Amino acid sequence: MTASARVAIDPFGSDIPAESARLRALGGVVAVELPGGIPAWAPTGYATLKSLILDPRVSKDPRQHWSLWPELAENPDWVWILSWVGVVNMLSSYGPDHTRLRKLVAPSFTARRTEAMRPRVEAITAQLLDEFGESAASAAEAGGPVDLRAGYAYPLPLRLICELFGVPDELVDATGVLIAAIMDTSDPSPEHGAFVQQQIFSVLPALIAYKTEHPGDDMTTELIRVRDEDGDRLSDEELVYTLLLVIGAGFETTVNLIGNAVVALLTHPEQLEAVRAGKIGWDAVIEEVLRVHPSIATLPLRFAVTDITVDGVTIPAGEAIITTYAAAGHDPAHYGPDADEFDAARGADDHLAFGIGVHRCIGAPLARMEALTALPALFDRYPGLRLTVAPEELRQVPSFIAYGWQEVPVSLGG
């Protein structure tokens, strides 16, 4: 495959459904190029994506299964991808290592353990609604809108995950900056990549040092205990990267779920009306948002362990594959000709937004519970909520991975 035959993925993720449709027109699996020129294969439809994710010949461990892994360190334009594939945690492991690393964290996020977090989620939500009302009132006095992402969607998951992991106040902002920098794929420069690496190895060790000095009833303390008792269960490096993964995945994705849901409802007032009238459930809204606007649009990288032929295309052993959740959600072959439309009454309950198989999201119950708390509370408290810009003026976060609105300017109405 020559470089010119590859389709470049838009590093800004400016119009992911349109890009998915263009790729789909080229076939079931298409050769693409990620920022910095990293070659990969993109499944373009629901069935193909699902079969590749579930295929045991597809790995997530670059050290064992990516033919380009040895070259990575020598190519400064590829450094940015290290924070996705160079991490040593469950997200980038395969087989027994994956099972071992996942087992350390997954039991803390079962449906039952998540239910126990509900009172805290409700309390943070109530407090944020008050604070958001005050910010909106000041903004209205000054004649401007208020940003619902910054004032509501963002702080709820961030505060919750920081409480669960015992992140001290002085590290909360730095954690947010670090995760935003990892999600931003619009700048694959060596400087940006180096900044991210430097931040990972400053913020997480600072958290570990703090919790070693001030142990508490939190997940960081628990993981430090596991590492100290048995380094074979969790090494130093795995501890850093496991914290990075669970704290990062645990808030950024949910921020976008809440923001995407608010925009979907405000731009579809008839559906909002049906929700208020009890004709459509809040859970159906959330599942439909996850289908059309999944917080993770695309995830790098998986790797073919052997040659794999799918949809008439052979992905050679050692080559990289991206997982294209947004493309799957918009696939007309699976969801019909109106797959691009947000329709909470559709009743589609098989989206892949949380993944599937052994790497499926461990935080899905928590994300759903946070959204199911935050959304009805917001629309009940501020029934006049409306967007202050036309929908086409909203901008996506600059990423082909994260899929959400950079800002959601609103007013609280009358």
Q: From 7-15, 197-205, 246-254, 261-269, give the range in contact with ligand HEM by CB under 6 A.
A: 246-254
Q: Locate tokens 């409700």: which residue?
A: 122
Applying CB under 6 A, does 308 fall inside the site for ligand HEM? no
Two tokens, residue 334: 């699976």
Q: Are strands 320-323 and 299-304 parallel, antiparallel or unpaired?
A: antiparallel
Q: Show contacts with ligand HEM in window 71-100 (CB under 6 A).
A: 90-91
Applying CB under 6 A, does 244 fall inside the site for ligand HEM? no
Residue number, 139 or 246, with CB nearest to ligand HEM: 246
Residue of 123, 42, 58 lying closest to 370 (CA atoms)? 123
Q: From 63-71, 75-83, 140-148, 250-258, give the range in contact with ligand HEM by CB under 6 A.
A: 250-258
**Spatial distance between the Cα atoms of 290 and 13, rounded to a whole number of angstroms:** 17
Applying CB under 6 A, does 211 fall inside the site for ligand HEM? no
Q: From 75-83, 173-181, 251-259, 271-279, give the range in contact with ligand HEM by CB under 6 A.
A: 251-259
- With residue 379 as reference, give the H or E element that holds it: helix 364-381
H helix intervals, 28-168? 46-54, 62-65, 69-72, 82-85, 96-105, 111-115, 118-141, 148, 155-164
Exposed/middle/buried for 133, CB within 10 Å: 0-12, 13-18, 19+?
A: middle
Q: Show contacts with ligand HEM in window 276-295 (CB under 6 A).
A: 294-295
Q: Measured in Å, how far apart are the chain's first and last C-alpha atoms?
A: 59
Applying CB under 6 A, does 375 fall inside the site for ligand HEM? no
Among 31, 200, 367, 408, binds ligand HEM (CB under 6 A): 367
Q: What is the largest CA-CA distance in the chain?
A: 63
Applying CB under 6 A, does 366 fall inside the site for ligand HEM? yes
Applying CB under 6 A, does 325 fall inside the site for ligand HEM? yes
Among 81, 129, 162, 257, binds ligand HEM (CB under 6 A): 257
Among 246, 297, 315, 374, binds ligand HEM (CB under 6 A): 246
How many Å is the Cα radius of gyration of the chain? 21
Q: In whole angstroms, how far apart are CA 165 and each of 84, 148, 204, 244, 385? A: 21, 25, 11, 11, 33
Among 363, 398, 404, 409, binds ligand HEM (CB under 6 A): 363
Applying CB under 6 A, does 159 fall inside the site for ligand HEM? no
Applying CB under 6 A, does 260 fall inside the site for ligand HEM? no
| DSSP reduced 3-state for 24 | helix
Two tokens, residue 11: 């590093």
Applying CB under 6 A, does 250 fall inside the site for ligand HEM? yes
Binding residues for ligand HEM, how many (CB under 6 A)?
26
- With residue 283 as reference, give the H or E element that holds it: helix 282-292
- Which residues are near ligand HEM by CB under 6 A? 90-91, 102, 109, 245-246, 249-250, 253-254, 257, 294-296, 299, 323, 325, 353-355, 359, 361-363, 366-367
